[in-house]
Structures are given as C-alpha cells and as structure tokens.
Copies of this chain bind each other. A is one copy, B any other.
Amino acid sequence: MTYERWERSTEWPLAGAALMFLAIYTWTVLTEPVGVGAQVAEHVVLAIWTLFAIDYVARLTLAQQRTRWFLFHLHELAIVALPVLRPLRLLRLLTLVSLLQRSVGGALRGRVVTYAVIGTLFLVFVAALAMLDAERHAPGANIQTFPDALWWAVATVTTVGYGDYTPTTATGRFIAVALMVAGIALLGVVTATLASWLVHKVAEQDDANQAVTQRQVAELTEQISALRAELASRATAPAPSQ
C-alpha cells in the first residue's frame, strides 16, 4: 500500500465522515439534545474522530520522508489530537470543499471563484454554529439564536461589521478572527479574479499584435525555403543554363 493509494481510497469515506460530523454538530448545536440523543451523537462523533486518527497514523507511517511529512502536517496533528477544541475540529471539513472543487474542474479563474464561494458559504455556516455554541450560555453575550449568529457571520465576512451583535467570549472572538481573515481573502479573490479577467481581455489585443509578428515570421520562413530550393536547383543543374 503506497501513500498515494491510501489517500485516493480514503478520500470519499473521510469526506462522508466529515459530512456526518457536520450534520451531527449542526443538530447538537441547534437542538441541544439531552439523554439518549446526546449520548448517541457523542458516540458517533467519537467513531468519526477514530477514523481521522487512523487516517493520520496511516499516512504518517506510509509517508516516504516521515519527519518532513510530520512537520508539514502539524496542523492535522493538532486537529486530531485536541478533540476538546470543537471549532478547530470543524476545520477538517474544509477538505470537502477541495474535493468538490476537484470534481468541478474547468478553467483556473472559474475554479478559484467556485472555491472561494463554496468555501465562504461553508465557513459562514460553520462559524455561525460554533459562535452560537460558544456564546449562547455566556453571561452578557448577545448572540443567542442561530439566525442572529448567521447574520453576524455574514456581516463579519463581508467586513461590513455593523456591531449590533459581537462576540464576548474568548472562543467566540477566535472564531470571529478566523472569519475576518476569510473575509479579507474573499475580497482579495473576487477582486483578483476580476482584475485578471480585465487584464486578460485587454491583453488579447496585444496578443493579436503578436499574432501578426508570428505570421510575418512564418511567411519569412516560407520565403527562405523557396530561396533555398531555387539555389539548390541552380547548384545541381547549372550547366544547361550556360
């Protein structure tokens, strides 16, 4: 079993497990279940966590340069090893976006925009969930319902920042900072894609000029070939002309 084969065969199962984790997390945060429901959710989350832990260990074992792999995947270790940090655990779900991304395919700009839009929608949803979970029972907090949390998340990721709802707990503020950084990245991606498109369209005219050069060079090559053929015919059969 090679590293690449392991990755390819575990891709879809792990994405499914991440999706299930998202569903259970959403259900847990929104309904705050007690009794049997809460216990079942707890066990399924533990099972999913075990899957990710096995995947981490397997990949570490299969990696060709183990130390290098370990250093470049420290964030994965943190996500697997610290199951008490719920919001960080959810970052794992971002792998799903890149998976969706790959199946979409297409041109570079289209892919960048698709990735940014899906990733942002996903982040806003997860951040609103995590924020509600963190703030709901904090004294003095004003984000108390899921619609309010979603509203706050959208106002933050677009860098509008009304300030009518703001986190007050440390966890909530960490989530907020992640969303702000995502908002700057979103602005950057939208602007950069538009700029690249405009630059490309304007450059097409320059390309047309360049095509003229290419045609001229091609024409020149043809003339030279004709010249060589002519010289060759004179070199091999000079006598009859004299």
Contacts and interface: CB of A to CB of B under 8 A. Distances in A.
A241 B235 contact: yes
Interface in A186-242: 186-203, 206-207, 209-210, 212-214, 216-221, 223-228, 230-232, 234-235, 238-239, 241-242
Nearest to A177: B154
A158 B180 contact: yes
Nearest to A170: B147
Interface of A: 108-109, 112, 147, 151, 154-156, 158-164, 166, 170, 173, 176-177, 180-181, 183-203, 206-207, 209-210, 212-214, 216-221, 223-228, 230-232, 234-235, 238-239, 241-242
Nearest to A219: B221
Contacts of A109: 198, 202
Contacts of A177: 154
Given A210-B210, A217-B217, A227 B224 contact: yes
Nearest to A185: B190
A207 B188 CA distance: 25
A15 to B, nearest CB: 26
B200 A202 contact: yes
A147 to B, nearest CB: 7
A166 B162 contact: yes
Contacts of A218: 216
